[in-house]
A and B are shown apart, each in its own frame.
Chain A
Amino acid sequence: MQLKQTYQWITGLTLVAALVALTSFSGCGNGGPIDPPKPPDVAEITLSFDLENGSEELAFQAPFTDVMGYQHRLLTLKFYLSNLVLVKADGSTEEVDEVVLFDYKPIDPSLNNPQWTREVSFTLPSGDYTGIQFGVGIPADINDEDPTTYANEDPLSAFSNMYWNWATMYRFIILEAESDTGTGSFDHDILIHTGLDDLYRTSPVYPISLSLASGDQAALTLSLDWNDIWYAEGASILLKEEHITHTTDTQEDFDLASRFTDNFVAGLKINQE
């Protein structure tokens, strides 16, 4: 009898130990069935950005001559993509990132601060994907967010230097360059800061063809030709006169920012490697 009781007590303790172990794995408050962990059924895509001058990749701060014969040095190019989705073969979409910030400036290894680059990576479920689509800028529903509530690493943080403090909204694209438009020196500043909800643009669905199995890695390149920004057919920008806008201030500023934005978005291309 005593042996039986001891057996029952040991059995009870064993059950309790098993319960404790399982509960420890599941964590407090996370209830539900306890399944052994499965390897995530995801693939990874890297999206990089290239700015080109014709067929050549444009180097940061290096002089280059555009199709009009103007010389430029690029000092800043930063812009947001948002609501980045991949379109599946069945037409449904998979949102992969709410907000992405591209910064054309090379990484400065001497800095310990967060830095954004020309490349972002994201994971998504394996499957067949036929298109990619995104917005350029920050959508209105989050354009009035408080940047101080975001971690420094977040593209929406104050650290990104994309926030318009006086207007409490984000700038969408910042392009700054110095140019020689025929004077023989780089004395012509290009200063383009776009923003405002009215200038948020949604891209077309760019066709791609990706069959991603679990663990696959794929690469896409978003490219833009400098000349398409300024010399788009029917929406050309006279760089000698139209080279500075903060979007706001005047209707002319807005009009220039609007044309710039439209050309910028229309010029974007997706290449699959």
Chain B
Amino acid sequence: MKKTFGAFVLTSVLLLVACSTETEQKEDNLVTLQENHVPFELAIPSHFPDMVIPKDNPLTVAKVELGKQLFFDPSLSVDGSVSCASCHLPSKAFSDVLAVSQGVKGAVTERNSPSLMNIGFHPIFMREGAVPTLELQVLSPLEGETEMAHNIVLACERLNQDSTYRARFQEVFGQSATPFTLTRAIAAYERTLIGGDAPFDAYLLGDSTALTPLQQQGYALFTSDRLACSSCHSGVLLSSFALEHNGLKPRDTDPGLMRLTLNEADRGKFKVPSLRNIALTAPYMHDGRFASLEAVIEHYNKGGDGVTNQDERIRSLSLQEDEKEALLAFFDALTEASGKGE
């Protein structure tokens, strides 16, 4: 009977070990999958804030490479004519040269294409700021009727018909292209679009010669109480990322934040854009109405269009010509080498 009991104990132990081994095996697979992937080390400048990386989307070299390939692939659009990069040109700090971009079949979008440089540091996305993550943001252009006009599931099906893509998704995610993996890959790539190498950055890091005297004058004006540009375009990223009304007269039916809140007080409010690479990203404003930075400065100089909901900080500035030149010179100093596609 002792032996019977012994056999029982032995078997129980063996079964427990078997169960434990099975569980550990699953965990091992997960760990192995992750360990096989080389983490992507973001080159975040020392004076930049930390970047929040979602737990469900750790950066790996392979994932970023896949995301980059997808970003430049027009097959994500319904007719294969438009990629993300069509409206986010690397040489223009990942913005567009058109007032409002063109989607598939000549469709015209409603808004100016924003720069994607340093986009991983933004806390909210889209002009009315309703999208909380880069992953979810991917859905908007991909499925937008005037942009890529696709359905993300069908876009994934198309990708999975390509043996190369199928293998790459399998390698990166251990599964095929799905709405989850596709959005994670593109967002991962977008998080790597980091600048921080503009003359302005060198100046912030202590190189007092990085800005010309005129640029330094422009910077002083920019941050002065009189102009108060930096009250909205604040911090190292030159944006508060708040939703503000910058005094633009409504031109179309785009109500900005009010689209989301239905509050009349939010009509015309849009996310404050970062001014990094601003010299590269013409035309300007949410609808691309201004072709040049001179026109932008003039808008603020006159105190905006004097419209309902206009922020009280938008007021007449009485800028002298040399001050306008100084501001323009300062804006040039915000151009990152990586924003020019270098």
Contacts and interface: CB of A to CB of B under 8 A. Distances in A.
Contacts, number: 98
Interface stretch (B33-41, B123-131, B209-217, B330-338): B123-131
Contact of B139 (A5, A11, A15, A165): A165
Interface residues of A, number: 33
A251 interface: yes
A8 B8 contact: no
A152 interface: yes
A254 B260 CA distance: 11
B306 interface: no
Interface stretch (A154-162, A210-218, A263-271): A154-162
Given A157-B153, A158-B153, A9 B128 contact: no
A19 B8 contact: yes
A13 interface: yes
Interface residues of B, number: 42
B151 A168 contact: no
A9 B132 CA distance: 66
Interface string A11-35: 1110110011001000011000000
Contacts of A8: 1, 3-4
A165 B153 contact: no
Interface string B164-206: 0000000000000011101100000000000000000000000
Interface stretch (B10-18, B59-67, B223-231, B276-284): B10-18
B253 A148 contact: no
B220 interface: no
Nearest to B4: A12
SS of B interface (majority) = helix
A159 B4 contact: no
A149 B180 contact: yes
Nearest to A198: B262
A113 interface: yes
B74 interface: no
Chain B CB count within 10 A is highest, among A15, A20, A148, A250, for A148
B130 A167 contact: yes
Contacts of B22: 28
A166 B8 contact: no
A20 B151 CA distance: 50
A163 B4 CA distance: 62
B289 interface: no
Contact of A167 (B143, B255, B260): B260
B139 to A, nearest CB: 4
Chain A CB count within 10 A is highest, among B12, B131, B152, for B152
Contact of B11 (A20, A161, A166): A20
A95 interface: no
A11 B4 contact: yes
Contacts of B151: 158-159, 161
B287 interface: no
SS of A interface (majority) = helix
Contacts of B259: 167, 248-249
Contacts of B152: 148, 158-159
A9 B260 CA distance: 76
A137 interface: no
B131 to A, nearest CB: 5
Nearest to A29: B19
Given A113-B153, A165-B139, A249-B255, A28 B8 contact: no
Given A19-B11, A28-B22, A165 B140 contact: yes
Given A146-B136, A248-B259, A166 B131 contact: yes
Contacts of A157: 153, 179
Nearest to A254: B262
Contacts of A152: 153, 179
Nearest to B180: A148
A147 interface: yes
A268 to B, nearest CB: 26
Contacts of A113: 153-154, 157
Given A19-B12, A29-B19, A159 B153 contact: yes
B130 A16 contact: no
Contact of B130 (A12, A163, A166): A166
B144 to A, nearest CB: 7
7 contacts: A8-B1, A8-B3, A147-B179, A148-B182, A157-B153, A158-B152, A165-B139
Closest 6 CB pairs of A and B: A28-B19, A12-B4, A148-B179, A12-B7, A159-B153, A165-B139
Interface of A: 5, 8-9, 11-13, 15-16, 19-20, 23, 28-29, 113, 146-149, 152, 157-159, 161, 163, 165-168, 248-251, 254
Given A16-B7, A148-B180, A249-B258, 9 more contacts: A8-B3, A11-B4, A15-B7, A15-B8, A29-B19, A159-B179, A161-B151, A165-B139, A248-B262
